[in-house]
């Protein structure tokens, strides 16, 4: 092999004085880093993905993992990554796949936004003593109230379109059964039921064991139409048409055949072991009219009882696209930013296509507001939301609610190792290997995810209270409560916020 | 801080401005000498069918020529004059207050249910956002706002408030915190028939502003109270909600309370809250809003600012302080404090 191999990424070592040879590392590593020979644990660091499973399972804290320092000649343009990608592609002639979100060092806009707090003249509100309202309704809202007045009495004429009622503005985004394991999905489903919110099923259909939580699910329809039939549509509390995804705008989904076990094949309604490919275009949507038609057919099929969402990736003209969607009878637009996670994406897409969610949400909210149709649809932000501050800022920029993805997986153990596409997830998340899947106990998993949602909900209440707000309606689109720190004027204009000190 | 007081005589018998001046001055501690103002309804019986348009001009050359031009394009100026003012040692005259009595050309606004009002609203927005050196601060029929930077008594004497007689009066003593004390920033804020005095801060301003702007209002006075007038105009006039429903939309009950209500009421309030979420106001406030047939006072949902109500026969008083009400009317009978978010309404009985 003329090119040789690229250097290893991580170096694992075991403190032999500490090690008690319990062999848990050997059992836990699904990538085969550890093996036993003559009663000795041997290490193949090259296979390590830094998933941290061994470290967190070692009873003696005997394992040490280090990122290997670059041993190329240092060069500002030809980074180690750039060189290694060339080497790997020269060798294989293939597209480089990657898992999880954008791994480039782009500035994080969220971290350059600061929130407001009350001082003297405007008392902050203590959420422990005063009611704090985070309840959020997702769906169409009328532009104005219609009523009839008969001698002083006001009789309501307006009938609300179906809305989802959320106890917190945090939902869990779409991760399909197939991309993630059943136990992972079950954990998420139990968690959203506990916390009064919703999760997306992803495009993989709905497995029977999710049925008890179906009132908390949003069923997704991607171009592949996997698992879609009338029962599926009727089970969801809402329906989502996936047009694009933040991690890979402009391309479709691909679940490799190895992950299509019998259960996945049943749920998706595809043959066992076959690749599940949902191409980028829906072959019945080539224009906004087509999309509008699909939205209406889905509503018609479900008796106009369910909100229909449309999910798009954040791209340059996202605001105009969202405005079109808002006029299509859709009840919510989901905008997925370019830091969104994924099971597998071509690395070149994941790292280079799309725009950050902060700018996308602000632009969409602004455009819809300008056109006087902001109330017609709800706006859901997703893609790279890491904590309660990101959520609060997203809402202040105009979102009604957010979808979290990666964060909910981290709550299940994920260490963002980025190897989901290999199907060997040692945490039992992005895998269909039963012995790995069994590592998640849905009861405990759901507890952790619910804890996360509850903790963030508390933090959002505190942030709102500090800003003197006791209802989330007053946070939504409230740019006054945000300032930009070290952002350029162009971006401040897009975000429609002022600079710190202003 | 800030002191507010309002009164309505339900039989529409008119009161002069002397007692409200006295009552407002009593609350000097709530102000800082940087802004005070009054509004009275029914003061222009001679022009009872005209819009009384009060303008602050920086000078009577360019800005006035421009405003004349805009007004003449949209209607007829029946009469115009400088609002009489009387020099006060403690008050620097920074603008020239002017009034027009104006009749809009109804046929210029098509496709609306109240073309006259829409016409005038449109020209208020146009002048305030495009004409440098002119600010329309009052635009209702048979009513007028009088305000300036200064202490309540100075402002009252400057305009000689006691010379006007109205059946509704609102007054405000300002302690500015958010924005500098300038004439335009003094209360009352007015658009058409709506006049607002406000004690507090609106933390939801960003959301409210964005909402009214998407409905064709321009916020030009760089203060949060402005949106209250526009919200009332939007919900009350254009959407036709009764005043108490507007108040409920602006300061709705908590969800827990709504959930417990009988089905029909629950549905009404849920629909109202979902429809008018962006109009919901947060932060500490006590507000009195007047329109030609009544006044309504209310506070924020957890009552972070004081509000007291007094009644005496046909008169209803709403104020920040009981003492102010008693100053205005030593014979006042009932005094009580409304609950958070609960509207107090005084309507004329015709
Ligand atoms: S898990 Fe830790 S203690 Fe157990 S064998 Fe591995 S390194 Fe040794
Ligand atoms: S889901 Fe599993 S494979 Fe994917 S990043 Fe997380 S730990 Fe790694």
What pLDDT, on the 0 to 100 scale, is given for residue B178? 64
CA pair distance A304, A300, nearest whole angstrom? 6
Cα B322 to chain center, whole Å? 21
What pLDDT, on the 0 to 100 scale, is given for residue A74? 87
Q: What is the dihedral of CA B267, B268, B270, B271, to 10 degrees?
A: 110
Q: Which atom of ligand 2 is nearest to the CA of A419?
A: 3
How far is the CA of B345 from the CAs of B224, B234, B250, B294, B296, in angstroms? Answer: 23, 19, 15, 7, 4
Which of A49, A57, A65, A100 has most ligand 2 atoms within 8 Å of CB, for mutation? A100
Edge-to-edge, what's the strand order for the sheet holding B189-191? B189-191, B194-200, B285-291, B294-299, B344-347
Residue nearest to ligand 1 atom 1, measured at CA: A58
- Report the DSSP pairing between strands A253-255 and A276-278: antiparallel
What pLDDT, on the 0 to 100 scale, is given for residue A291? 95
CA pair distance B159, B21, nearest whole angstrom? 11
CA pair distance B158, B145, nearest whole angstrom? 13
Nearest 5°: phi and psi at A462?
-65, -45
Q: Which atom of ligand 1 is nearest to the CA of A20?
A: 3
Instruction: Using CB atoms, pick whichever of A123, A370, A474 lies closest to residue B207.
Output: A474
Mean pLDDT of all residues belonging to chain B: 92
Determine the distance in angstroms separating the CA of A477 from the nearest CA of chain B, rounded to an integer: 5
Give the tens place of pLDDT for each residue, B298-310: 999 988 899 999 9
Which of A429, A431, A437, A439 has most ligand 2 atoms within 8 Å of CB, for mutation? A429
pLDDT band of B113, cuts 50, 70, 90 = confident
Tokens of B244: 């108490």
For residue A153, give every residue at least 6 positions away whose Cβ sits within 8 Å of its Cβ, in sequence order, or none.
Answer: none
Q: What is the DSSP letter of B233?
A: I
Q: What residue has token string 């550890």?
A: A34
Give the tens place of pLDDT for each residue, B211-230: 999 999 988 877 888 999 99
Residues of B taking part in catalysis: 2
Query: Across the 502 residues of chain A, what is the mean pLDDT of every consecutive 10-residue run?
Result: 84 96 96 94 96 96 90 89 93 91 93 95 91 97 90 85 97 95 98 98 93 98 91 96 94 84 88 87 91 96 97 97 95 96 91 97 96 95 97 98 97 95 95 96 98 98 97 96 97 97 92
B101 strand-pairing partners: B52, B79
What pLDDT, on the 0 to 100 scale, is given for residue B264? 93
* Contact indicator for B143, B39 with CB cutoff of 8 Å: yes
What pLDDT, on the 0 to 100 scale, is given for residue B141? 97
Altogether, the residues listed in chain A come to a count of 502
Q: From the CB of A63, is ligand 1 less than 6 Å away? A: yes
* Contact indicator for B90, B151 with CB cutoff of 8 Å: yes
What pLDDT, on the 0 to 100 scale, is given for residue A259? 82
Give the tens place of pLDDT for each residue, B232-269: 999 999 999 998 899 999 999 999 999 999 999 999 99
* Contact indicator for B98, B80 with CB cutoff of 8 Å: yes
Tokens of A206: 């709905």
Q: Is A321 helix (H, G, I), strand (E, B) or coil?
A: helix
What pLDDT, on the 0 to 100 scale, is given for residue B180? 65
A98 Cα: distance to centroid of ligand 1 (angstroms): 29
What pLDDT, on the 0 to 100 scale, is given for residue B179? 64
Q: Is A109 left (phi over 0), alpha (psi -120 to 50) or beta?
A: alpha
Q: What is the dihedral of CA A114, A120, A121, A126, to 10 degrees?
A: 70
Q: Select the more confidently predicted residue: B24 or A435.
A: A435
Contact residues of B toward A, CB < 8 A: 1, 177, 200-201, 203-207, 209-211, 213-215, 239, 241-242, 245, 254-256, 267-268, 270-278, 280-284, 301-302, 304
Predicted TM-score of the model (pTM): 0.94
What pLDDT, on the 0 to 100 scale, is given for residue A395? 98
Determine the distance in angstroms separating the CA of B82 from the nearest CA of chain A, rounded to an integer: 37
For residue A456, give every residue at least 6 positions away whose Cβ sits within 8 Å of its Cβ, in sequence order, or none.
Answer: A168, A170, A387, A388, A391
A431 Cα: distance to centroid of ligand 2 (angstroms): 9
CA pair distance B279, A474, nearest whole angstrom? 8
Q: What is the dihedral of CA A119, A124, A126, A127, to 10 degrees?
A: -140
A24 lies within 8 A of chain B by CB: no
Q: Is A29 helix (H, G, I), strand (E, B) or coil?
A: coil
DSSP assignment string, A75-122: -SSS-HHHHHHHHHHHHH-SPPEE-SS--S----GGGGEEE----SSS
């Amino acid at each position: 092999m003329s090119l040789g191999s690229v250097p290893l990424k991580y170096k694992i070592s075991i403190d032999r004085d500490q090690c008690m040879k319990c062999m848990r590392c050997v059992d836990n590593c699904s990538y085969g880093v550890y093996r036993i020979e003559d009663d000795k644990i041997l290490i193949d660091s090259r296979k390590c993905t830094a998933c941290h499973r061994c470290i967190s399972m070692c009873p003696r804290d005997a394992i040490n993992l280090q990122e290997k320092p670059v041993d190329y000649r240092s060069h500002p343009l030809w980074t180690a990554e750039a060189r290694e990608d060339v080497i790997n592609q020269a060798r294989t002639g293939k597209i480089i796949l990657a898992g999880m979100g954008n791994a480039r060092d782009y500035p994080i806009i969220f971290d350059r936004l600061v929130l407001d707090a009350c001082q003297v003249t405007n008392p902050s509100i203590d959420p422990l003593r005063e009611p704090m309202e985070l309840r959020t309704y997702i769906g169409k809202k009328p532009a104005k109230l219609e009523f009839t007045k008969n001698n002083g009495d006001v009789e309501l004429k307006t009938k609300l379109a179906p809305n989802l009622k959320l106890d917190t503005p945090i939902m869990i985004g779409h991760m399909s059964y197939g991309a993630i394991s059943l136990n992972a999905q079950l954990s998420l489903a139990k968690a959203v039921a506990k916390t009064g919110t919703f999760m997306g099923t992803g495009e993989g259909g709905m497995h029977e064991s999710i049925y008890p939580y179906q009132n908390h699910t949003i069923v997704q329809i991607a171009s592949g139409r996997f698992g879609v039939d009338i029962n599926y549509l009727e089970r969801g509390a809402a329906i989502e048409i996936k047009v694009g995804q933040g991690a890979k705008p402009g391309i479709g989904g691909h679940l490799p055949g190895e992950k299509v076990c019998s259960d996945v094949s049943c749920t998706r309604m595809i043959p066992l072991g076959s690749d599940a490919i949902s191409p980028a275009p829906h072959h019945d949507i080539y224009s906004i009219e087509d999309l509008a038609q699909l939205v209406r057919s889905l509503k018609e099929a479900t008796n106009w009882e369910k909100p229909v969402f449309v999910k798009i990736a954040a791209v340059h003209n996202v605001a105009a696209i969202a405005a079109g969607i808002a006029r299509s009878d859709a009840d919510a637009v989901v905008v997925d930013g370019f830091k969104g996670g994924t099971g597998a994406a071509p690395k070149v897409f994941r790292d280079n296509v799309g725009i950050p969610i902060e700018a996308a949400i602000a632009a969409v909210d602004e455009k819809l507001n300008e056109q006087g149709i902001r109330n017609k649809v709800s706006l859901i932000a997703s893609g790279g939301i890491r904590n309660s501050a990101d959520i609060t800022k997203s809402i202040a920029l105009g979102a009604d609610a957010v979808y979290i993805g990666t964060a909910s997986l981290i709550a299940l153990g994920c260490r963002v190792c980025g190897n989901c596409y290999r199907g060997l997830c040692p945490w039992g998340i992005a895998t269909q290997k039963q012995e790995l899947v069994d590592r998640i106990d849905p009861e405990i998993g759901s507890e952790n995810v619910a804890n996360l949602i509850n903790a963030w909900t508390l933090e959002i209440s505190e942030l709102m209270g500090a800003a003197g707000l006791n209802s989330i309606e007053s946070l939504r689109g409230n740019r006054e409560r945000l300032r930009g720190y070290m952002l350029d004027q162009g971006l401040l204009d897009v975000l429609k916020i002022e600079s710190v000190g202003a | 801080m800030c002191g507010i007081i309002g009164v309505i005589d339900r039989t529409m018998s008119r009161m002069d401005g002397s007692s409200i001046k006295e009552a407002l001055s009593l609350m000097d501690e709530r102000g800082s000498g940087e802004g005070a103002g009054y509004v009275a309804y029914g003061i222009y019986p001679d022009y009872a069918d005209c819009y009384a348009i009060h303008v602050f001009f920086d000078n009577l050359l360019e800005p006035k020529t421009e405003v004349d031009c805009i007004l003449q394009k949209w209607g007829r100026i029946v009469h115009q004059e400088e609002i009489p003012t009387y020099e006060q040692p403690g008050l620097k005259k920074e603008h020239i207050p002017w009034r027009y009595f104006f009749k809009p050309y109804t046929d210029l606004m098509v496709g609306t249910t109240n073309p006259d009002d829409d016409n005038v609203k449109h020209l208020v927005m146009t002048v305030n956002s495009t004409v440098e050196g002119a600010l329309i601060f009052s635009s209702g029929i048979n009513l007028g706002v009088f305000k300036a930077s200064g202490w309540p008594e100075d402002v009252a004497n400057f305009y000689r408030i006691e010379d006007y007689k109205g059946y509704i009066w609102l007054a405000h003593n300002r302690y500015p915190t958010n924005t500098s004390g300038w004439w335009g920033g003094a209360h009352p804020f007015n658009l058409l028939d709506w006049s607002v005095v406000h004690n507090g801060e609106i933390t939801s301003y960003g959301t409210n502003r964005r909402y009214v702007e998407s409905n064709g209002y321009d916020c030009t006075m760089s203060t949060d109270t402005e949106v209250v007038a526009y919200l009332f105009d939007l919900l009350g006039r254009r959407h036709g909600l009764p005043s108490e429903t507007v108040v409920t939309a602006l300061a709705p009950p908590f969800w827990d309370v709504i959930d417990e209500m009988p089905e029909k009421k629950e549905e009404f309030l849920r629909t109202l809250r979902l429809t008018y979420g962006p109009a919901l106001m947060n932060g500490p406030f006590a507000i009195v809003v007047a329109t030609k047939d009544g006044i309504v006072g209310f506070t924020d949902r957890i009552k972070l600012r004081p509000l007291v109500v007094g009644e005496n026969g046909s008169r209803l008083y709403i104020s920040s302080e009981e003492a102010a009400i008693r100053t205005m009317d030593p014979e006042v009978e009932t005094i009580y404090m409304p609950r958070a978010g609960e509207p107090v309404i005084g309507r004329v009985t015709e």
